[in-house]
Every structure is written in C-alpha cells, then in structure tokens.
C-alpha cells in the first residue's frame, strides 16, 4: 500500500500539493485525474522520491521513501515521467535494458549493462508486450514520438517492480496504441500482480480501465472512489469546470463533455462594443 500523510509541496510560494492524505490500495489500477495544474504530476513525483515534499510523509508497504536506501526503492517503484530526455544515443533495446539497472548487483559495466538470463527474459517480455520487436535495433531518434513513448513504458515494465507509476503514458499515442496501453496496464495489474498508479487526462480511459479514481483540483483531493462513485455529472463538473453528461455504455460510465453547447458554455464570453 502507498500511504500519504499531509503531503504538501510548493513552488516559489505557490502551493501545488496541499496537505494530501491518501491511502492507495495494493493491486489494481488507480488513476489520478484532474485539470492542468491540479498537482497530479507533482504528487506522483513525491511518491517516487523524485521531489522532496515541504512537509508530510510517503510510505510504500510501510517503508518511508525518503529515508530508505535508493536501491531498495528502485526495486519497489518504477516511474515513467512526462519529460524523458537522454543525453546519449540509444537503441530501443538499450533503453528497455536500462530498466534492469536496479537488479544488476555489481554486474554493470562502463558503457552499458551486462544482462543475465533473467534480465534478458524481462527485456524480451517488455519489448513483446509493447510490440517493439521490429524497432528494438533502431535508435530512439529514428522512431516516432509514439514509438519512443512505448519504449519508455517498456523500460519501466522491464524494471519488474511491484509498483508502476506512470505520468501521462498516453502522450503522443494514436487511438490504437492508447487503447493498447490502457489494456496493458490492466494486464499488468491482473496478470502480473502489479500495483499501477497512472496520471491520465482522459476521464473515460480512467473510468473504463481503473479500479479507483483519485480526482485532484488545486492541489487537493476532491474525491476518491470507484468509477461508479466518481462518474457523476455534478462531481465531474466540479473537478473540470466544464458541463458534463454521463451515460452508461455497455455497462461502463462514459462522460460526454465535448458538445457544441458545452464548448460554448466553457468559453468566457467576450463583450464587444460598437465604435
């Protein structure tokens, strides 16, 4: 279980995460949703120890992430960030192989990694799950943005941790690969026993795939619960500040927000005056 107690983070005097208290269940898929600037990515980075909160505590299975050893955390948590920039030129397979770094135990060497049989098996599995076999020999600057995004997700999956933290994994993905990605996260939870925490902007993707949805606004948790508990017009309108209708489609709750009337209602009216 991931537990957050009174976690607060500010930038230049602006509170981005505001006293968050939250218990995220072990197993399954939990989606963090909310408008831009709600604090989703910052909260995820605090959980992954990429950012030190100003106050509060984060634990994973009772282990304080800020006092535990780095290698111990790296074997429990794997994170995909929004901004993934590399200073070296790597092939797709080289990148995926870096997910095995926390498991090297002295087998690393200058200029790369020396994989053993378990490393190779995990790398091959991750490449197969993300359908990257035909691309694994290409350099990252030779593939599309969506293909590169899939390679980064494969790297996280190859790390083989109990907890997967993914910040906007649907970035740059087309419709097919977005659906494939969410299906993969569902499989990671159901078949591989992973606990998946994912930041998504698509509330319908969260509704269809996630077991739990945590909705944030202005750095605070507005609501947390199952899709059935979260997917209601009044609550979604409070979170996203846009008119929303919710419909049952094949047993799943789907939000419709991009109607012409809704779009016009969400745009501030401009007052014009005659000359």
Whether 246 is covered by a domain: the verdict is: no
Whether 272 is covered by a domain: the verdict is: no
Range of 196's domain? 1-76+161-227
- Assign 111 a pLDDT band (cuts: 50, 70, 90): very low
Rounded CA separation 152/82 (Å): 10
Nearest partner of 91 among 128, 127, 129, 116, judged by Cα? 127
65 and 165, same domain (yes or no): yes
| CB atoms inside a 10 Å sphere around CB 250 | 6
Whether 149 is covered by a domain: the verdict is: yes
In the predicted structure, residue 109 carries a pLDDT above the cut 60: no
51 and 179, same domain (yes or no): yes
173 and 147, same domain (yes or no): no
Residue-wise pLDDT tens digits, 230-274: 999 999 999 999 999 999 999 999 999 866 555 545 544 444 444
Q: What is the DSSP letter of 133?
A: G
9 and 132, same domain (yes or no): no
139 and 194, same domain (yes or no): no
pLDDT at 273: 42
Bridge partners of residue 196, in order along the sequence:
29, 164
What percent of the chain clears pLDDT 70, i.e. is strictly above it? Answer: 88
Whether 236 is covered by a domain: the verdict is: no
Rounded CA separation 90/55 (Å): 38
Phi/psi at 113 (5° precision): -120, 150
- Assign 89 a pLDDT band (cuts: 50, 70, 90): confident
140 and 118, same domain (yes or no): yes
Q: Copy the structure tokens of residue 86.
A: 């590399």
In the predicted structure, residue 61 carries a pLDDT above the cut 50: yes
Nearest partner of 93 among 172, 154, 160, 164, judged by Cα? 154
Residue where a domain terminates, one of 121, 155, 189: 155
Q: What distance lies between CA 245 and its chain's CA centroid?
A: 26
99 and 144, same domain (yes or no): yes
Rounded CA separation 215/225 (Å): 9
Crossing angle between the packed helical segments 145-158 and 117-129, to the nearest 10 degrees:
140
Residue-wise pLDDT tens digits, 155-213: 999 999 999 999 999 888 888 888 888 998 998 899 889 999 999 999 999 999 999 99
- H-only helix segments in 75-116: 92-97
Rounded CA separation 219/224 (Å): 14
Q: Copy the structure tokens of residue 270.
A: 């401009």
- Tell me how many domains the chain contains: 2
Handedness of CA 178, 167, 6, 4 (dihedral sign): positive
Q: Copy the structure tokens of residue 262.
A: 């809704």
195 and 71, same domain (yes or no): yes
Whether 67 is covered by a domain: the verdict is: yes
Helix (H) or strand (E) holding 213: strand 212-217
16 and 146, same domain (yes or no): no
In the predicted structure, residue 112 carries a pLDDT above the cut 60: no
Q: 8 near 17, Cβ under 8 Å? A: yes
Residue where a domain terminates, one of 109, 124, 155: 155
Phi/psi at 263 (5° precision): -65, -40
Q: Copy the structure tokens of residue 96.
A: 């995926």
71 and 9, same domain (yes or no): yes
Rounded CA separation 148/154 (Å): 10
Nearest partner of 140 among 97, 174, 108, 185, judged by Cα? 97
34 and 138, same domain (yes or no): no
Name the pTM for this structure. 0.86
Whether 268 is covered by a domain: the verdict is: no
Nearest partner of 57 among 29, 28, 19, judged by Cα? 19
């Amino acid at each position: 279980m991931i537990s957050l107690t009174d976690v607060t983070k500010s930038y230049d005097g602006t509170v981005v995460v505001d006293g968050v208290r939250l218990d995220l269940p072990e197993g399954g898929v939990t989606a963090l949703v909310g408008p831009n600037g709600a604090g989703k990515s910052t909260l995820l980075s605090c959980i992954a120890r990429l950012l030190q909160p100003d106050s509060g505590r984060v634990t994973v299975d009772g282990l304080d992430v800020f006092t535990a050893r780095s290698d111990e955390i790296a074997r429990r948590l794997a994170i995909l960030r929004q901004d993934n920039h590399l200073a070296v030129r790597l092939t797709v397979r080289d990148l995926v192989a870096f997910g095995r770094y926390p498991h090297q135990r002295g087998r690393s060497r200058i200029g790369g990694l020396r994989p053993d049989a378990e490393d190779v098996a995990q790398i091959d599995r991750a490449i197969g799950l993300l359908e990257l076999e035909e691309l694994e020999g290409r350099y990252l600057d030779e593939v599309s943005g969506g293909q590169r995004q899939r390679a980064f997700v494969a790297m996280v999956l190859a790390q083989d941790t109990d907890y997967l933290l993914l910040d906007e994994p649907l970035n740059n993905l087309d419709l097919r690969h977005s659906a494939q990605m969410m299906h993969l996260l569902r499989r990671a939870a159901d078949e591989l026993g992973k606990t998946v925490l994912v930041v998504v902007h698509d509330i319908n993707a969260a509704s269809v795939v996630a077991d739990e949805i945590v909705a944030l606004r202005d750095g605070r948790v507005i609501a947390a619960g199952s899709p059935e508990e979260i997917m209601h017009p009044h609550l979604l309108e409070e979170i996203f500040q846009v008119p929303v209708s919710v419909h049952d489609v094949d047993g799943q709750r789907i939000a419709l927000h991009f109607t012409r009337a809704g779009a016009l209602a969400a745009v501030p009216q401009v007052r014009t005056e005659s000359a």
